C-alpha cells in the first residue's frame, strides 16, 4: 500500500513537472509565432509602402509627360495660329453674330407688333 501511494505521488509529481515544462514550451512557441506574425505584417506593410510609392511616382511621371505634350501642342498652336483662328477672335465673332441675331429678332418682333397695331 505504501508503495502504491509512493508511486501515485511520484506519478503526480512527474505529471506536474511535465505540465509545467509543456506550459513553458507553449509560451515560447506562442512568443515565436507572434514574433513571426509581426515580422510578416511588417514585411507586408513595407511591400505596400514601396508599391504605393512606385505607383505614385509612375503616375507623376506619366502626368509630367502628358503635361509636356500639352505644352508642346499649345506652343505649336500659338506659333501656327493666324489671327482668324485664335480663340479670342473666334469668341468675339460669335458674340457679334449673337448680338446681330438678337437685333434681327427684335426688329422682326417690332415689325410683327406694328402689323397687329395697324
DSSP per-residue string spanning 5-35? HHHHHHHHHHHHHHHHHHHHHHHHHHHHHHH
pLDDT tens sequence across 81-108: 777 677 788 888 888 888 887 777 777 7
- Most confident range (mean pLDDT) of 16-20, 52-56, 105-109 is 52-56
**CA nearest to 19, candidates 31, 4, 6, 27:** 27
Residue 42 included in any domain: no
Statement: residue 60 has pLDDT above 60: yes
Q: Please give the Cα distance from 85 to 81 (Å, whole number).
A: 6
Residue 116 pLDDT class (50, 70, 90 cuts): low
CA 63 to each of CA 3, 52, 110: distance values in angstroms, whole numbers, following the listed order: 89, 16, 56
Instruction: Tell me what the mean pLDDT of segment 32-55 comes to.
Output: 96
So what's the pLDDT on residue 50? 96
CB 112 within 8 A of CB 106: no
Give how many domains the chain has, as a whole number: 1
Amino acid at each position: 500500500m505504501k508503495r502504491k501511494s509512493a508511486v501515485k505521488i511520484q506519478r503526480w509529481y512527474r505529471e506536474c513537472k511535465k505540465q509545467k515544462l509543456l506550459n513553458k514550451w507553449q509560451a515560447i512557441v506562442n512568443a515565436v509565432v507572434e514574433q513571426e506574425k509581426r515580422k510578416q505584417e511588417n514585411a507586408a506593410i513595407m511591400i505596400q509602402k514601396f508599391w504605393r510609392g512606385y505607383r505614385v511616382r509612375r503616375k507623376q511621371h506619366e502626368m509630367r509627360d502628358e503635361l509636356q505634350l500639352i505644352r508642346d501642342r499649345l506652343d505649336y498652336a500659338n506659333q501656327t495660329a493666324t489671327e482668324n483662328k485664335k480663340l479670342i477672335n473666334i469668341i468675339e465673332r460669335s458674340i457679334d453674330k449673337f448680338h446681330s441675331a438678337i437685333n434681327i429678332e427684335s426688329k422682326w418682333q417690332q415689325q410683327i407688333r406694328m402689323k397687329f397695331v395697324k
